[in-house]
Amino acid sequence: MEMQFEPISAKRDRPFVIAGPCSAETEGQVMATAKELAEQDIDLFRAGIWKPRTRPGSFEGVGKEGLRWLKRVKEETGLKVTTEVAKAEHVYEALKYGVDVLWIGARTTVNPFSVQEVADAISGMDIPVLIKNPINPDLPLWMGAIERIYKAGIRKIGVIHRGFSFHGETKFRNVPRWQLAIELKRNFPDLMMICDNSHICGRRDLLQEVAQEAMDLNYDGIMTEVHPRPDEAWSDAKQQITPATFKDLVDSLVVRQETTDDIEFLTHIDDLRQQIDELDDDLLKLLGQRMKVAERIGEYKKRNNIAILQTSRWNEILDQVMGKATAQGLSKDFVDTLLRAIHQESIDRQEKVMNRQEA
């Protein structure tokens, strides 16, 4: 589907910044946060009014009473405001109170019924919508949500990358899987892309590093949860920061240009890219050779009726290569993934050789 998006706001030469508490808790908390953030020239004030919580019993948002507070924020600070909507009723209430931008949360993007309900509720209106990635790393599902909103006639669409659920231990609350967001951008180059560093990190000490990574990847901006007393927040306390810390974070960001016409830069980068291309060629040639050897091993094993996989040999390769990886300055995670992919391909090749019907 061919789509053409319109910018949510005029492009400035600094990141687009969305900040505010995870949840609107009290009128005082909302107003205090907004007043401090207004002094920092942020683009959009966020606050969750209806909170989709993983388990019942947690704070589920103050509901529409909080919309009055957001209206006050607009009137008293001039800030534009945004909140999460998950169903038609949320949309009607939010629009009634003058919410400027709607966002669709990760738990809603996963459900086409809900996204369609929101799309139908805003059909034909001129309201910007930000669409978070679904909680699972499913690019077509994310694209599907964008398409549903687009088909409702909305052109001011942006996306928020908030990371993906993951089973097991990770540094992040939601693993970023940057490649997935980059792939989305490749499909829709003029789509505004925001990084929600708060929900990716889940802890405040990582927020700066992830925001900078987003800048390095040419994201348009960030969405960060800000609370006057983060530790006392009613939701997502560990990842929220004070307005002052948020200011430091934004000030610390180094913003990169997408490109330049500086000849010296272009020549130098061309040279480096050529080196990369040549090395990629070498890598491919070497991999091809390695697979040929694997096939020869397969043939030899077949003749001697030996199984393809010898666990001890595989362990030996893993140990040897992992040892050398560090010396080459390669991360263990990367080499582990690479080696497993190569090994799987070798096994597939040997499998083919072994089971080839002789003519």
The residue assigned the tokens 């909140």 is 83
Q: Which residue is nearest to ligand PEP (CB)?
A: 105
Of residues 118-137, which lie at the interface with ligand PEP (CB under 6 A)?
132
Choose between 117 and 236: whose C-beta lies nearer to Mn ion: 236
DSSP bridge pairs for 45 = 19, 81
Q: How many residues bind ligand PEP (CB under 6 A)?
A: 10
Tell me the C-alpha to C-alpha distance, in Å, between residue 211 and each of 92, 216, 220, 223, 255. 33, 9, 11, 9, 10
Contact between 130 and 105 (Cβ < 8 Å) = no
Of residues 173-232, which lie at the interface with ligand PEP (CB under 6 A)?
196, 199
Of 103-111, 138-146, 246-254, 293-301, the window that binds ligand PEP (rule: CB under 6 A) is 103-111
| Minimal distance, residue 24 CB to Mn ion, in Å | 12
Choose between 199 and 247: whose C-beta lies nearer to Mn ion: 199
φ, ψ dihedrals at 83, nearest 5°: -145, 165
Task: Give 277: exposed, middle or buried? Use CB within 10 Å, 0-12, 13-18, 19+.
Answer: exposed
Choose between 133 and 350: whose C-beta lies nearer to ligand PEP: 133
Choose between 119 and 325: whose C-beta lies nearer to ligand PEP: 119
Work out whether 47 is an interface residue with Mn ion (CB under 5 A).
no
Work out whether 20 is an interface residue with ligand PEP (CB under 6 A).
no
Of residues 98-127, which lie at the interface with Mn ion (CB under 5 A)?
none
Of residues 51-80, which lie at the interface with ligand PEP (CB under 6 A)?
52
Of residues 224-283, which lie at the interface with ligand PEP (CB under 6 A)?
none
Work out whether 196 is an interface residue with Mn ion (CB under 5 A).
no
Could you tell me the maximum CA-CA distance found in the chain, to the nearest angstrom?
84
Count CB-CB contacts under 10 A for residue 213. Answer: 15
Work out whether 22 is an interface residue with Mn ion (CB under 5 A).
yes
Closest CA to 243 of 69, 34, 23: 34
- Residues 6 or more apart whose CB falls under 8 angstroms from that of 289 comprise none
DSSP bridge pairs for 193 = 159
CA angle 313, 315, 320 (to 5 degrees): 95
Work out whether 22 is an interface residue with ligand PEP (CB under 6 A).
yes
- In whole angstroms, give the CA distance from residue 319 to residue 326: 12
- In whole angstroms, give the CA distance from residue 129 to residue 220: 15
| Minimal distance, residue 133 CB to ligand PEP, in Å | 8
- With CB under 6 A as the contact rule, the residue among 20, 48, 134, 221 that binds ligand PEP is 48
Work out whether 236 is an interface residue with Mn ion (CB under 5 A).
yes
Contact between 46 and 94 (Cβ < 8 Å) = no
- With CB under 6 A as the contact rule, the residue among 162, 177, 247, 349 that binds ligand PEP is 162
Contacting positions for Mn ion (CB under 5 A): 22, 236
Contacting positions for ligand PEP (CB under 6 A): 22, 48, 52, 105-107, 132, 162, 196, 199
